[in-house]
Amino acid sequence: MSLYGVMRTGVSGMSAQSNKLSTVSDNIANVNTTGYKRASTEFSSLILKSGSGKYDSGAVETQVRYAITDAGHLQFTTSTTDLAVQGNGFFVVSDTSGNNFLTRAGAFVPDSQGNLVNAAGYQLMGYDIRNGAPNVVANGYNGLQVVNINQMALQAQPSTKATVAANLDPSAAIIAGPPGPGGYTSKTSVVTYDNIGNAVTLDVYLAKTGPNTWQTSIYNAATGAAMAGGTNTFTFDVSAAGKGTLATASPKSLAVTIPGGSAFTMDLSAMTQVAASFDFKATVDGNAPSAVEKVDIDETGLVTAILQNGAKLPSYRIALGNVPSPDNLTPEVGNVYSTNLKSGNVQVGFAGQGGLGSIQSGALEESNVDLADELTSMIEAQRGFTANSKSFQTGADLLDVVVNLKR
């Protein structure tokens, strides 16, 4: 065995223990970092072939691993934009250059432009659903946009549909139709919105014109004029099978065009005529422009703006990404991860689908570092470094003895 080999082996051991101490120090420094994943140093021996009667000391090499799939505990907060993933998956974020990464650090807040960014400045990505269902690309980031709170505000949505749950009183007297301001059995009003968010009130008049027969007319409350297509006759089936629901041959809706707005359909398929007083409830889509009061995010990642006028505007769907081997992701600056050959390609989807976890609003995932374990590992690394230094020192002392033999 070579004394130089002894010294080199000692240096190898000190270097390995230094690497372990480095990961321990990094873990301790990030014990309170949201979404941080613990790093560990794994040792493996490097053995040299030795001849008969002689042993050549080898070395030790290290490999750093990350416990990315080891979830941290949830810490609940009072902010609805603080997000945590329960289960598999990562938030998709981007930097200012448009590069996409994966992260579990979900402490998002709006910046000066309304973009949701976390503590490291990465922007949360999602699909814009204001114009319909998104075109999701399963194996890439195409179609994702930065989730922006400001874009949810001051946007008018024209009314296109109302869903009605109503009951007409069968004991009402029969009158001549069609109904209108001059004569009717029952009357109610609904508020709709035109293309720029102006409220348009529609008056709905109903008249019982015969046994189990009613006429309905829609008027523009502002002008008092009947609206084209807003008048029709509805009949009810009072047999044992029908039980006061609309007859099979009866119309089920009314269609008008809102002044300055869009085509509007009033769905009356749930209207009944049973032994009860008149009742009319309508759920109308559309909204007037209004500022955002707060943002609500559900477990599926649906981002809904709650406007100051009480309207709810679904705007984004947060995307989650995952890879076949998350523990092999490459850590980057800012507590984010990038994909590589070992981790596999990214797969993008929605929370609760395809094996992805759910999103918890008002919570953050804590670091998965156990401080007691790290302090124990620190002592182990310190003792190991000291022992390897003694091995190096002993080899150096013996080399001095060999050199002094000539004197």
- What is the count of structural domains for the chain? 3
Q: Going by C-beta distance under 8 Å and a sequence separation of 6 or more, which residues neighbour residue 390? A: none
Flag residues of the chain having pLDDT under 70.
Answer: 1, 50-53, 55, 153-154, 407
**Domain termination site, one of 284, 313, 336:** 284
Looking at the fold, whether 182 and 201 belong to one and the same domain comes out as yes
Range of the domain at 390: 3-70+368-404
Looking at the fold, whether 167 and 125 belong to one and the same domain comes out as no
Q: Going by C-beta distance under 8 Å and a sequence separation of 6 or more, which residues neighbour residue 297? A: 80, 81, 83, 303, 304, 318, 359, 361
Question: What integer pLDDT is reported at residue 274 of this predicted model?
Answer: 96
Angle between helices 371-404 and 3-29 (to 10 degrees): 160
Looking at the fold, whether 276 and 198 belong to one and the same domain comes out as yes
Helix (H) or strand (E) holding 228: strand 225-237
Looking at the fold, whether 237 and 142 belong to one and the same domain comes out as no
**Domain termination site, one of 225, 260, 284:** 284
Looking at the fold, whether 100 and 147 belong to one and the same domain comes out as yes
Looking at the fold, whether 168 and 150 belong to one and the same domain comes out as no
Looking at the fold, whether 173 and 234 belong to one and the same domain comes out as yes
**Domain termination site, one of 242, 268, 284:** 284
Looking at the fold, whether 312 and 385 belong to one and the same domain comes out as no
Question: What integer pLDDT is reported at residue 53 of this predicted model?
Answer: 65
Question: What integer pLDDT is reported at residue 149 of this predicted model?
Answer: 87
Question: What integer pLDDT is reported at residue 43 of this predicted model?
Answer: 87
Looking at the fold, whether 86 and 143 belong to one and the same domain comes out as yes
Looking at the fold, whether 19 and 168 belong to one and the same domain comes out as no
Q: Render pLDDT for 168-211 as a digit per residue (tens, 0 to 9).
A: 999 999 999 899 999 999 999 999 999 999 999 999 999 999 99
Q: Beta 100-103 vs 90-94: how paired, if at all?
A: antiparallel
What's 232's domain CATH number?
Answer: 2.60.98.20
